């Protein structure tokens, strides 16, 4: 009953000075709103970066040509292709944990269909590509093994290419020309979206690896079965690091790289890149929230200030309560509840304002936001703690008043 009476008294005091209470809560409202907004935007950015990088495929590494030296001149990484189909087959066959090793070549080409044309990226691939990239054919079908073996002139379109060449028309079994080579459309890929580097992943076409090398991208690849790069997909994230070591040892052996000679290939762990980017975004989110949390401390100081004023204004009331039997701890709890109520209501209003601000920023700037339950609970809980912490001194000061001296004050 004493607690209920203290709560009732606290609400009465707040409502008696509604405007002052609202202005007192403003610091807490702004602080919590800032925290919620910053955490929401930071979490959304982290999720976006993570999704964009992982859209390349999970548990993925990529093997690319390394530095090439000719006649004593270092030509730099990628100056010449040092990888082959056989390298990909050896990786798939001999390295533990590998579920797909997808060699590919890539280039740029103008695609023509009837009176429409579109400039896009072209990839020559094999069947492992779709498993490595976790990408499915939405309409039609994928390449069959015989088409890949023969290097048939068939093609699969990305969503962007299909839309720009055919509009709403069904592109299946239509003919498109790539560098004057007629390809028959056998499929359209599922939408993939934008990559972490801002590139439209659906603006692409796929042809069999051998057809791409011989007919479209360049005969230099076809001379010795060379490929531009190899995507390697592992069964689990734990397999990636030992797998990369095994691939390094295998390729050095196959390419006859001995002793201190520099590798003529490079391997990048895309999962590690994704984790690093996600950790960076998470750190940024924490820093933004920490800066915004300073507003909560400012709001807490405002609550302490107004509670000290309240104690001074209500000195006679406190003296009267003490004189008729109220204990110091009753006075303490009354003012603590009043301060905590102010800060908690401010926290609730701040959550609503912060969620609205995060949504508004997401709509206006095209920046994703994610308001998490944990952020809301922590923000409201912290605002209540701010009320208790900054309200304790004024409350203890009120509880220590001498009733006789308090009643004498005007």
The two tokens of residue 404 are: 């006789």
- Asked whether residue 14 carries a pLDDT value surpassing 70, the answer given is yes
Phi-psi region of 134 (alpha: psi -120 to 50; beta: other; left: phi over 0): left
Cβ(27)–Cβ(298) below 8 Å: yes
Strand partners, 99: none
- Asked whether residue 73 carries a pLDDT value surpassing 50, the answer given is no
- Asked whether residue 6 carries a pLDDT value surpassing 70, the answer given is no
Q: Identify the CA nearest to 124 among candidates 186, 205, 65, 223.
A: 205
Q: How much is the pLDDT for 57?
A: 61
**DSSP run (H or E) holding 399:** helix 373-399
Q: What is the pLDDT averaged over residues 155-162? A: 93
- Asked whether residue 142 carries a pLDDT value surpassing 50, the answer given is yes
| Collapsed DSSP state (helix, strand, coil) of residue 180 | coil
Highest average pLDDT, of 216-225, 320-329, 345-354, comes from 345-354
Of the listed ranges 66-75, 126-135, 167-176, 241-250, the least confidently predicted one is 66-75
Q: What is the pLDDT averaged over residues 327-339? A: 78
- Asked whether residue 214 carries a pLDDT value surpassing 90, the answer given is no
pLDDT one-digit tens code per residue, 78-134: 556 788 888 999 999 999 989 989 999 988 889 999 888 999 999 999 988 888 888
Of the listed ranges 239-253, 280-294, 323-337, the least confidently predicted one is 280-294
Q: How much is the pLDDT for 1?
A: 45
Q: What is the pLDDT averaged over residues 208-231? A: 77
**What whole-number distance in Å separates Cα of residue 322 and Cα of residue 311?**
14
Q: What is the pLDDT averaged over residues 339-368? A: 82
β-strand pairing of 116-125 with 137-140: unpaired
Of the listed ranges 48-57, 63-72, 154-163, 342-351, the least confidently predicted one is 48-57
Place of tokens 């579109």: 118
**What whole-number distance in Å separates Cα of residue 342 and Cα of residue 22?**
8
- Asked whether residue 347 carries a pLDDT value surpassing 60, the answer given is yes
**What whole-number distance in Å separates Cα of residue 352 and Cα of residue 376?**
10
**What whole-number distance in Å separates Cα of residue 155 and Cα of residue 277?**
34
- Asked whether residue 65 carries a pLDDT value surpassing 90, the answer given is no
Cβ(227)–Cβ(181) below 8 Å: no
**What whole-number distance in Å separates Cα of residue 205 and Cα of residue 327?**
81
Q: How much is the pLDDT for 262?
A: 80
How big, in percent rounded to 5, are the helix, strand and coil portions of the chain? 60, 20, 20
Angle between helices 328-365 and 270-313 (to 10 degrees): 140
Q: How much is the pLDDT for 174?
A: 92
User: Which positions ≥6 away from 394 have C-beta within 8 Å?
Assistant: 304, 307, 308, 310, 311, 335, 339
State the chain's mean pLDDT as an integer: 80
Of the listed ranges 90-99, 151-160, 186-195, 255-264, the least confidently predicted one is 255-264
Q: How much is the pLDDT for 52?
A: 62
DSSP class of residue 172 equals T
DSSP class of residue 32 equals H
């Amino acid at each position: 009953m004493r607690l209920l009476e203290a709560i009732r008294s606290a609400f009465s005091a707040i409502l008696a000075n509604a405007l002052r209470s609202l202005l007192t809560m403003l610091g807490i409202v702004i602080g919590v709103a800032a925290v919620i907004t910053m955490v929401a935007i930071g979490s959304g950015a982290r999720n976006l970066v993570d999704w964009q990088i992982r859209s390349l495929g999970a548990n993925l590494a990529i093997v690319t040509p390394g530095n090439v030296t000719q006649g004593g001149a270092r030509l730099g990484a990628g100056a010449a292709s040092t990888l082959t189909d056989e390298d990909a087959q050896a990786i798939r066959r001999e390295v533990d944990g590998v579920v797909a090793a997808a060699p590919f070549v890539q280039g740029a080409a103008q695609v023509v269909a009837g009176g429409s044309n579109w400039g896009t990226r072209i990839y020559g691939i094999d069947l492992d590509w779709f498993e490595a990239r976790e990408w499915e054919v939405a309409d039609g079908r994928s390449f069959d093994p015989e088409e890949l073996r023969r290097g048939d002139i068939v093609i699969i379109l990305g969503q962007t290419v299909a839309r720009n060449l055919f509009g709403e028309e069904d592109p299946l079994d239509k003919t498109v020309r790539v560098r004057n080579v007629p390809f028959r459309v056998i499929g359209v890929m599922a939408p993939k979206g934008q990559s972490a580097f801002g590139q439209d992943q659906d603006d692409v076409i796929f042809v069999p690896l051998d057809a791409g090398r011989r007919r479209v991208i360049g005969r230099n690849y076809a001379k010795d079965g060379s490929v531009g790069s190899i995507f390697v997909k592992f069964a689990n994230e734990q397999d990636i690091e030992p797998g990369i070591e095994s691939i390094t040892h295998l390729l050095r052996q196959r390419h006859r790289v001995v002793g201190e000679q520099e590798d003529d290939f490079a391997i990048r762990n895309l999962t590690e890149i994704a984790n690093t980017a996600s950790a960076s975004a998470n750190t940024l989110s924490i820093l933004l929230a920490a800066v915004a949390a300073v507003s909560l401390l400012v709001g807490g100081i405002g609550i302490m200030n107004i509670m000290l004023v309240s104690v001074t204004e209500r000195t006679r009331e406190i003296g009267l309560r003490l004189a008729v039997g109220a204990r110091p701890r009753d006075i303490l709890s009354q003012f603590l509840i009043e301060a905590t109520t102010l800060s908690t209501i401010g926290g609730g209003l701040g959550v609503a304002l912060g969620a609205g601000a995060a949504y508004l920023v997401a709509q206006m700037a095209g920046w994703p936001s994610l308001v998490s339950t944990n952020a809301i609970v922590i923000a409201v809980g912290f605002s209540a703690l701010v009320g208790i912490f900054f309200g304790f001194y004024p409350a203890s000061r009120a509880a220590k008043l001498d009733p006789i001296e308090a009643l004498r004050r005007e």
